[in-house]
């Protein structure tokens, strides 16, 4: 044979030696890589009837068959052959010869067992790299960054639309708007002030009493929690009705009575009318003024109005409400200020 197969030429010397051992060719000691290629090529060609059916040697017999039947392999190059192509061919041959020389020197310095071990360790790495390359080539990639940005914008728009629809269907916007309209009134502000006083007073005149204990729940990692409820039995005693009646009279009944009859919210008219129109059924400014006067006189100065007021109840109310009678005065001041502010806005 005039030359070795291209399949054998692409193999490393260690791989060639492993192939020689596997096919039973033992005459390679002392040969260089190129000599082993030619000798192994002749050996496999002579024993083609024995090894042509093996899968691992199929590339050899395939390339060997093409080289034998190729009629133009040894033809003389045409006259107009490119000089630059020749230069690249010579450069590749020189580089390849240098690599083969280095591979030959490295391989001859190692024993046969080391060569086989090297071949075994290199072959899986090469196959793993090829599999990684094939996997990477099969991964679909976007055609351009603009397409990726457009897809992200579409996804974001869809997500924003779904969130907006869910928010509209939940009714949070309507509930918030309704609560805002209800609380943005003078009556609502005055009710909040009165309820705050009543909440502070409830702990004094109707204290909590132990009812039962919620047991520990290990699944939820909770501890025992004692539950207390207002002692409703105090509703049958004077301990509840004394302070409750005094606070109701000074903070609600008497101020509302004065606010109803001294109502300055009526609209001015040219003539007298039996059915005068009022903006409020109870004048909020009059209500806060009368409440402030009663709180100062009863809770601040201790006036009993000829024994009608029990000073013990006054002390309990002063200790229960946040800030005592001074806190009640602050509440009435806020109510009067809001009333004046609304009157200015109405003008």
Reported as a single tens digit per residue, the pLDDT across 28-56 is: 787 888 888 888 888 888 888 888 778 77
How far apart CA 256 and CA 258 sit, in angstroms, is 5
Closest CA to 244 of 325, 307, 316, 191: 316
Which range is least confidently modeled, 8-17, 247-256, 279-288?
Answer: 8-17
Handedness of CA 327, 332, 333, 337 (dihedral sign): positive
Helices 238-248 and 186-205 sit at what angle, rounded to 10 degrees? 160
Q: How confident is the model at residue 116 (pLDDT cuts 50, 70, 90)?
A: very low
How far apart CA 169 and CA 161 sit, in angstroms, is 12
Q: How confident is the model at residue 90 (pLDDT cuts 50, 70, 90)?
A: very low
Q: Name the pairing type of β-strands 208-214 and 225-230.
A: antiparallel
CB atoms within 10 A of CB 47: 13
Q: How confident is the model at residue 75 (pLDDT cuts 50, 70, 90)?
A: very low
Q: How confident is the model at residue 288 (pLDDT cuts 50, 70, 90)?
A: very high
Higher-confidence residue of 54 and 67: namely 54
Higher-confidence residue of 141 and 86: namely 141
Q: Are 266 and 306 in contact (CB under 8 A)?
A: no
Total length of the chain? 347
- Measured torsion, CA atoms of residues 294, 295, 300, 302, in degrees rounded to the nearest 10: 50
- Domain boundaries, given as residue ranges, for the chain: 6-132, 154-184, 185-269+276-346
The percentage of residues in the chain with a pLDDT greater than 90, rounded to a whole number, is: 31
pLDDT of res. 142: 61
Higher-confidence residue of 275 and 310: namely 310
Q: Measure Cα distances from 315 to 76, 190, 318 in Å.
A: 126, 25, 5
Instruction: Count Cβ atoms within 10 A of the Cβ of residue 317 and give its class: 0-12 exposed, 13-18 middle, 19 or more buried.
Output: buried
Q: Are 78 and 26 in contact (CB under 8 A)?
A: no
pLDDT of res. 276: 67
- Mean pLDDT (the chain) is 78
**Span 302-311, mean pLDDT?**
91
**Span 201-218, mean pLDDT?**
90
Closest CA to 13 of 130, 92, 108: 108
**Span 95-124, mean pLDDT?**
50
> In this model, does residue 70 exceed pLDDT 50?
no
pLDDT of res. 88: 56
Give me the residues paired with residue 266 across strands.
278
Higher-confidence residue of 270 and 228: namely 228
């Amino acid at each position: 044979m005039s030359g070795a197969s291209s399949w054998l030429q692409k193999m490393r010397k260690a791989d060639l030696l492993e192939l020689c051992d596997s096919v039973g060719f033992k005459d390679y000691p002392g040969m260089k890589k190129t000599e082993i290629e030619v000798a192994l090529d002749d050996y496999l060609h002579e024993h083609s009837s024995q090894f042509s059916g093996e899968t691992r040697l199929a590339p050899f017999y395939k390339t060997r068959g093409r080289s034998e039947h190729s009629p133009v392999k040894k033809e003389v190059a045409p006259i107009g052959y490119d000089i630059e192509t020749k230069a690249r061919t010579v450069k590749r041959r020189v580089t390849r010869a240098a690599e083969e020389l280095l591979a030959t020197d490295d391989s001859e310095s190692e024993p046969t067992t080391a060569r086989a071990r090297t071949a075994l360790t290199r072959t899986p790495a090469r196959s793993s790299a090829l599999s990684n390359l094939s996997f990477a080539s099969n991964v679909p990639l976007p055609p351009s960054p603009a397409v990726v940005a457009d897809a992200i914008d579409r996804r974001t728009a869809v997500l924003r639309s779904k969130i907006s629809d869910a928010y509209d269907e939940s009714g949070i916007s309507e509930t918030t708007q309704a609560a805002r309209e209800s609380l943005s009134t003078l009556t609502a502000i005055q009710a909040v002030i009165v309820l705050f006083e009543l909440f502070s007073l409830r702990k004094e005149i109707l204290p909590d009493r132990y009812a039962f204990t919620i047991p520990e729940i290990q699944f939820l990692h909770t501890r025992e929690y004692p539950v207390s409820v207002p002692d409703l039995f105090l509703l049958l005693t004077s301990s509840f009705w004394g302070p409750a009646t005094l606070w109701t009279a000074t903070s609600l009944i008497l101020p509302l009575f004065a606010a109803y009859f001294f109502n300055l919210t009526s609209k001015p008219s040219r003539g007298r009318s039996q059915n005068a129109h009022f903006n409020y059924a109870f004048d909020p400014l009059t209500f806060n003024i009368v409440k402030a006067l009663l709180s100062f006189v009863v809770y601040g100065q201790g006036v009993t109005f000829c024994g009608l007021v029990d000073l013990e109840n006054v002390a309990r109310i002063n200790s229960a409400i946040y800030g005592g009678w001074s806190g009640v005065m602050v509440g009435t001041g806020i109510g009067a200020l809001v009333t004046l502010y609304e009157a200015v806005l109405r003008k």
